[in-house]
Amino acid sequence: MSRAQLLALVDQAAADPSSARRLLERAQFLVDQELRTAKFPPDGYVYAGAHTLVAKFDTLEVEDLPDPNDPRIRPLSQTTNDPEEIKIPFDMLIQGVSAWAIPELPTSIDATQLRGVLQMGVAPDGRDLFSLAWGLDGDNLYCTDGWKSHLLPAGCMVGTRANPRPLAWMPGRGRILNVWARNLTNAICPTAYASEIDIGWPLSVTVEFHGVKLEAAR
Amino acid sequence: MTGITQPSLLEIRSLLTQMLGNARDQVAMLPNLSAQVRALPPPNAELLSSPRFDRAALQTYVANFFRMPEDLEQGQQIRISFDSWIRGVSICVLPALEFEQAPDAATWENATALRALLCHYGTLWRGLVDVRWRIEDDQGFISDGIAAVTAPASQLAGDGEFSAPLDWRLNREQQINVTCINRLERVVDPECPTYFQRTLPWVAVAFWAERV
C-alpha cells in the first residue's frame, strides 16, 4: 500500500458520498494493516539523518597461501591483518553494508598483465577479490562456524552501493566496530610458472556501513 | 505504505474511526482527512523511516570448504553458538586459474573470459557446486520427497546482494550439517584446456541469523 492508494480512496469517497462508508472502511483496513506491519523506530527514538561509516584499507597486501604441510600458515578464512576500527559516533540503526575494491597496480605492469588483473574481478565492485568479517569491541564472533571466527568472501558478505546487504543493527554510541579484510587475489590466480609477474596484487578496499542516526524522541 | 511515520498514521486512524462512527462526518470531514493523507511523508522517505528488517541480521554461521576436489562429497558441521533464528543463506564459490607457463595476451583473455562466463550459472559461481543441508539428524530439507539429494547452489542459496530465505529457530549447541560437491565438470570438460584449477580453492556457505 502507498500513500497514493490511500489518497485515491479518500478522493473517491469525496466524489461519491454514497459509497463513502465502504471506501473509508477500506482505508481504515489498509491503515490498520500498515500499523501492524510497519517498521517504526525503536521506542523513544526518531530517525534523524542518513550516515555512512567507512573502513578503508588503503593497501591490502596478499598473505601467504595455506599449505597442507605447514599448519602455521592460516587458512583463507583467517587473516594476520589488524582490523580497521570505526567508532560509532552516536546511537545508530545500521541498515546495510556494501564494499568496493580496486587493484593497486605497480607502474611497471604491462598491458597484458593489466588486462588480466582487471578482468579477474567478476563480481560487481570487485567483491570477489577479498574477504571480510566484522565484530564489535574486538569480538569477531559474529562470523563463525560455532568454534572460531572466520572471514567470508566479500561477495557473499556484503552488497554493492546500489544494493547494500540489509542489516538492522543498533550499536550504541562509543562502541568500536572492527572490520577485518584479506586480499584473495593470490588465491584465485596462483601461478605455478616462474613468477614473471607478481602473485596476487595489492588492493584498495573500502567497506561502508549505511545507517541512520537515532535521536531521542521529544 | 512505506515512509509513513507512526504518529501521523495514528492520527489518520483516529480520524477514520470518528468518521465511520458518524454518517454526517463521513462527508464533512473528508477534506480534513485528505489534507492529512497528503501531509504524510513521501515514499522517498523510506530509507529514513522504514528499515527493511526489524531485528538484527548480523550473526553469520559459516561452513568453509577449502581445496575441494571434483565430484567428491564433503561435509562440514556448524555449531550454533547462540539461540538463533536462521533467516537466509548465501554461497560464494571462488574458482581459480592455473597457468603452466607465463600466459600471453590471448591466454589471459580466454581464461578470464571463461571464468567470468561461469557466473552465468549463478552469481559468485554458485552454479559450480551442489549442496544440501540438514539439522542434526533431521533430513529432508532438500530432498526428492523420499531421500535427501544435493541440488545446485544457485537454486538453493543467494549471494551477498540477496539471500535465499530460511526460517529455522535453532537452539544453542544444535548443529547444521552442510554437504557440498564440486561440480565443475558439469560445465567444463576435464579435457578442455581452460586454465581452470579443477580443485576449488574456497566454497563458503553462510547462514544469516539473528540471536534470539
Considering only the beta carbons, identify the residue of B20, B90, B97 that sits closest to A28: B20
Q: Which residues of B touch A144 (CB under 8 A)?
A: 60-62, 81
> Which of the residues B4, B123, B174 would you substitute to probe the A interface, choosing the one with the greatest number of A C-beta atoms within 10 Å?
B4
CA-nearest residue of chain B to A198? B102
Whether B99 sits inside 8 A of A122 (CB atoms) is: no
Scanning A159-218 for CB atoms below 8 A from B yields 159-160, 163, 165-170, 184, 187-194, 196-197, 212
Whether A14 sits inside 8 A of B34 (CB atoms) is: yes
pLDDT at A172: 82
pLDDT digits (tens, 9 = 90+) for B80-105: 988 888 888 999 999 988 887 777 88
Residue B1 is assigned to a structural domain of this protein: no
Flag whether pLDDT at A182 surpasses 70: yes
Claim to verify: residue B89 and residue B147 sit in the same structural domain:
yes
Claim to verify: residue B133 and residue B184 sit in the same structural domain:
yes
Which of A12-26, B6-20, B165-179 is the least confident region?
B6-20
Based on the structure, what is the number of domains in chain B? 2
Considering only the beta carbons, identify the residue of B30, B60, B201 that sits closest to A76: B201
Kindly state whether A66 is in contact with chain B, defined as any CB-CB distance less than 8 angstroms. yes
Q: For residue B14, what are the contacts with CB-CB under 8 A and spacing of at least 6?
A: none
Give the span between the Cα atoms of B19 and A129, in whole angstroms. 60
Claim to verify: residue B16 and residue B86 sit in the same structural domain:
no
Considering only the beta carbons, identify the residue of B51, B81, B94 that sits closest to A168: B51
Q: How large a percentage of chain B has pLDDT more than 70?
A: 88
Flag whether pLDDT at A140 surpasses 60: yes
pLDDT digits (tens, 9 = 90+) for B145-158: 888 899 999 999 99
pLDDT at B40: 72
pTM: 0.76
ipTM for the predicted complex comes to: 0.73
Residue B54 is assigned to a structural domain of this protein: no
Claim to verify: residue B14 and residue B116 sit in the same structural domain:
no
Residue B14 is assigned to a structural domain of this protein: yes
Give the span between the Cα atoms of B152 and B203, in whole angstroms. 13
Kindly report the backbone phi and psi dihedral angles of residue B21, in degrees, each rounded to the nearest multiple of 5, phi listed first: -85, -10
pLDDT at A42: 65
Widest CA span of chain B, in angstroms? 88
Q: Give the model's confidence band at A207: pLDDT under 50 very low, under 70 low, under 90 confident, else very high.
A: very high
The helix/strand/coil state of B23 is helix
Claim to verify: residue B32 and residue B65 sit in the same structural domain:
no
* DSSP bridge pairs for A183: A62, A130
Flag whether pLDDT at A87 surpasses 90: yes
Q: How large a percentage of chain A has pLDDT more than 70?
A: 88
Claim to verify: residue B44 and residue B79 sit in the same structural domain:
no
pLDDT digits (tens, 9 = 90+) for B17-58: 989 888 888 888 888 888 888 777 554 344 334 344 444 556
pLDDT at A46: 64
- Mean pLDDT, rounded, for B57-66: 86
pLDDT at A197: 56
Query: Which residue matches cell numbers 543463506?
Result: B89
How would you class B20 by CB atoms within 10 Å of its CB: exposed for 0-12, middle for 13-18, buried for 19 or more? middle
Question: Distance from B179 to chain A by nearest Cα, in Å?
Answer: 14
Question: Distance from A58 to chain B by nearest Cα, in Å?
Answer: 23
Query: Which residue matches cell numbers 477514520?
Result: B16
pLDDT at B212: 73
Name the residue range of residue B82's domain. 59-211
Claim to verify: residue B69 and residue B137 sit in the same structural domain:
yes
pLDDT at B189: 85
Flag whether pLDDT at A93 surpasses 70: yes
Residue B83 is assigned to a structural domain of this protein: yes
pLDDT at B4: 45
pLDDT at B54: 41
The more confident residue out of A46 and A202 is A202
